[in-house]
């Protein structure tokens, strides 16, 4: 079983210009795949004295779709709390904020009106890390600092293992239910690296740690059933994400995804957005993380985290 994660597709921005790609990664990292990049962003924000900070979003599918908006909120909260004269421009490849559109829009407008500007349909056309400029379909933007998020593809191991095919659009080519690699039933790929699982509009499972955890359990179940000489039943994952939008008071949003099969046997997604930012969801975020860490590293399955009552 492989869990290759993602890699950055800087080639889509810079072709074979390694100097520009390396400068972008070193100076303006996105921190989607490296702990060192998280520390680099932390240091850069601690030393940020003010000015324009630009964040672009990768085009879908990307790792943790709501995370850039959460980052923007927390950075804006940092600016607001410490009275830093900074401003954040979010350049979104998509036509609108998704998921949790109303919840994030309310946070931007009500909490960070003077700190965040959201720009939709900002398809990246050119990035110049040396002159601190980014050109998009929605206009050009200069910046003092940036978090530049290149498009995502399956991680290097997926390519080395031969799981990425011409028809899988840069992702591991697996069966949408069993996670078995096409053409090699002995090999499974889980997590962010997998291709689209449905022809329905959502297409991809959210590329989140929760989904990866659930797919790992599903594959382990399948292997154990086959070793026991039994035919495994079809199982699908679920997904649960919390997004912190305010640090004091602590407030968070929530989105849930459930999956089943439609009448034609296609994987179907039901999405529920919890757009009201609340302290209860903030507390649940840490409970959920504790449960997931206990399951991953403690060797004991934690109790099921109760889901909040959905309100449209």
Cα(55)–Cα(112) distance, integer angstroms: 15
The answer to whether the beta carbons of residues 53 and 147 sit under 8 Å apart is yes
Residues in a beta bridge with 140: 135
Beta bridge partners of 183: none
- pLDDT, position 296: 82
pLDDT below 70 — which residues of the chain?
A: 299-312
Q: Following CA atoms 159, 165, 167, 173 in sequence, which dihedral angle do they give, to the nearest 10 degrees? A: -80
pLDDT at 34: 81
117, burial (CB in 10 Å: exposed 0-12, middle 13-18, buried 19+) = middle
Q: Is 12 exposed, middle or buried (0-12, 13-18, 19+ CB in 10 A)?
A: middle
Query: DSSP 3-state assignment of 6?
Result: strand
Question: Using CA of residue 148, residue 150, residue 151, residue 157, what is the dihedral sign?
Answer: negative
Per-residue pLDDT tens over the stretch 186-237 = 999 999 999 999 999 999 999 999 999 999 999 999 999 999 999 999 999 9
Helix (H, G, I), strand (E, B) or coil at 273: strand
From 69, 217, 203, select the one nearest 77 (Cα to Cα). Answer: 69
Coil vs helix vs strand at 236: coil
Q: Name the helix (H) or strand (E) containing 88.
A: strand 85-91
Helix, strand, or coil here: 204?
coil
Residues 146, 206, 214, 288, CA torsion sign: positive
Tracing tokens 């398809």 back to the chain, one arrives at: 123
What are the Cα distances from residue 63, in Å, to 6, 44, 52, 112, 174? Answer: 8, 22, 25, 25, 18
Nearest to 92 by CA among 123, 115, 51: 123
- CA dist 243 and 137 (Å) reads 28
pLDDT of the residue at 268: 98
Predicted pLDDT of residue 312: 44
Domains of the chain: 6-153 (3.50.50.60)
Q: What integer pLDDT is reported at residue 26 of this predicted model?
A: 95
**pTM of the predicted model as reported, rounded to 2 decimal places:** 0.92
């Amino acid at each position: 079983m492989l869990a290759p994660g993602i890699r950055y597709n800087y080639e889509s921005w810079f072709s074979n210009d390694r100097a520009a790609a390396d400068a972008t990664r070193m100076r303006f990292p996105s921190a989607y795949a490296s702990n060192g990049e998280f520390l680099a962003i932390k240091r850069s924000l601690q030393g940020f004295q003010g000015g324009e900070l630009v964040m672009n979003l990768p085009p879908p599918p990307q790792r943790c779709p709501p995370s850039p908006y959460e980052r923007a909120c927390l950075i804006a909260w940092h600016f607001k709390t410490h009275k830093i004269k900074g401003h954040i421009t979010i350049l979104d490849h998509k036509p609108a904020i998704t998921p949790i559109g109303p919840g994030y829009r309310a946070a931007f407008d009500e909490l960070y009106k003077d700190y965040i500007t959201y720009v939709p349909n900002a398809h990246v056309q050119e990035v110049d890390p040396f002159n601190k400029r980014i050109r998009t379909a929605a206009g050009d933007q200069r910046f003092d600092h940036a978090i530049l998020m290149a498009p995502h593809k399956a991680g290097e191991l997926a390519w080395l293992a031969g799981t990425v095919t011409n028809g899988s659009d840069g992702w591991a080519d697996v069966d949408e239910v069993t996670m078995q690699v096409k053409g090699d039933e002995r090999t499974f790929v889980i997590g962010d690296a997998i291709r689209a699982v449905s022809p329905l509009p959502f297409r991809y499972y959210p590329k989140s740690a929760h989904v990866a955890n659930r797919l790992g359990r599903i594959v382990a179940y399948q292997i154990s059933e086959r070793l026991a000489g039994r035919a495994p039943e079809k199982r699908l994952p679920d997904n649960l994400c919390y997004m912190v939008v305010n640090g004091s008071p602590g407030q968070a949003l929530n989105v849930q995804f459930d999956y089943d099969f439609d009448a034609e046997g296609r994987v179907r997604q039901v999405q529920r957005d919890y757009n009201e930012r609340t302290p209860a969801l903030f507390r649940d975020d840490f409970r959920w993380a504790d449960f997931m860490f206990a399951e991953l590293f403690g060797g004991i399955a934690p109790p099921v985290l109760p889901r909040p009552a959905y309100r449209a």
